């Protein structure tokens, strides 16, 4: 928008090739106006464009917010074509062209029905789907999974070791108890009058 404003300030009109982008903001206000189109033979708008792109001070004055893009989004484009404009839109386009400052051929009144389809392009941008596909990659074994697996295996071996130790303690207890009863039986046979508990 600011580049168009600079061209309007320099020439009092805007680029005739960009007749759909004629809206400019009046400096110091919030009002938008439709700027007139420059004559195609007038090179003022071309010189203004060259000046703003080649002069840093003018660029900073009119395009101080025109910085480099910090991120980009790519879209898949599917193109299709159909003849334009439709017969219902031709009279509307004719009225628009006649009211604007576009230079018309001398025989416009006779050839406008063939001129409009030859010189008119309609662009429709259609969103095919609003679904967003997000692809993410996850590690097959994360840090938590690794610790869980190691902890599980360690716990299993500790559990097995604990069971083995408990079986060993139980076996020692039974052996000691067995030896105790055998010893107790031998002592009773030697001393039948003494009682052990």
Asked if 38 and 11 touch (Cβ cutoff 8 Å), the reply is yes
> Minimal CA–CA distance to 102: which of 46, 40, 13?
40
Question: Tens digits of per-residue pLDDT, 35-75?
Answer: 888 888 888 888 888 888 888 887 777 776 666 555 566 66
Task: Report the half-sphere exposure of 101 (CA within 13 A, side-chain side).
Answer: 16
The pLDDT, as a whole number, for residue 172 is 94
The pLDDT, as a whole number, for residue 87 is 81
The pLDDT, as a whole number, for residue 176 is 95
Checking if the pLDDT of 116 tops 80, the result is: yes
The pLDDT, as a whole number, for residue 175 is 94
Checking if the pLDDT of 162 tops 80, the result is: no
Three-state helix/strand/coil letters over 108-146: HHHHHHHHHHHHCCCCCCCCCCCCCCCCCCCCCCCHHHH
User: Stretch 163-172: mean pLDDT, rounded?
Assistant: 88
pLDDT band at 15 (very low <50, low <70, confident <90, very high): confident
pLDDT band at 134 (very low <50, low <70, confident <90, very high): confident
Q: Who wins on pLDDT, 140 or 1?
A: 140
The pLDDT, as a whole number, for residue 171 is 93
The pLDDT, as a whole number, for residue 132 is 73
Per domain, the residue ranges of the chain are: 2-62, 69-132, 142-197
User: Stretch 81-104: mean pLDDT, rounded?
Assistant: 83
High-pLDDT (> 70) share of the chain, %: 88
The pLDDT, as a whole number, for residue 71 is 57
Q: Who wins on pLDDT, 160 or 48?
A: 48
The pLDDT, as a whole number, for residue 25 is 75
pLDDT band at 197 (very low <50, low <70, confident <90, very high): low
> Minimal CA–CA distance to 101: which of 23, 42, 13, 36?
36
Cβ-based neighbour number of residue 58 at 10 Å? 15
The C-alpha atoms of residue 22 and residue 17 are separated, in whole angstroms, by 10
Q: Is 19 exposed, middle or buried (0-12, 13-18, 19+ CB in 10 A)?
A: middle
User: Stretch 123-146: mean pLDDT, rounded?
Assistant: 75
């Amino acid at each position: 928008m600011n580049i168009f404003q600079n061209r309007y300030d320099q020439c009092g009109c805007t680029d005739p090739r960009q007749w759909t982008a004629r809206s400019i903001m009046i400096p110091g206000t919030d009002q938008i106006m439709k700027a007139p189109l420059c004559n195609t033979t007038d090179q003022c708008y071309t010189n203004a464009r060259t000046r703003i792109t080649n002069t840093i001070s003018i660029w900073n004055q009119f395009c101080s917010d025109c910085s480099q893009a910090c991120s980009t989004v790519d879209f898949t484009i599917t193109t299709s074509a159909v003849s334009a404009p439709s017969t219902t839109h031709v009279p509307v386009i004719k009225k628009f062209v006649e009211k604007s400052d576009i230079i018309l051929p001398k025989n416009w009144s006779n050839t406008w029905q063939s001129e409009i389809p030859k010189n008119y392009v309609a662009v429709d941008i259609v969103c095919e789907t609003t679904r967003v596909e997000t692809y993410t990659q996850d590690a097959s074994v994360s840090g938590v999974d690794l610790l869980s697996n190691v902890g599980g295996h360690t716990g299993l071996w500790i559990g097995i070791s604990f069971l083995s130790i408990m079986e060993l303690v139980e076996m020692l207890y039974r052996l000691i108890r067995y030896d105790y009863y055998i010893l107790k039986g031998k002592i009773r046979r030697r001393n039948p009058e003494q009682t052990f508990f």
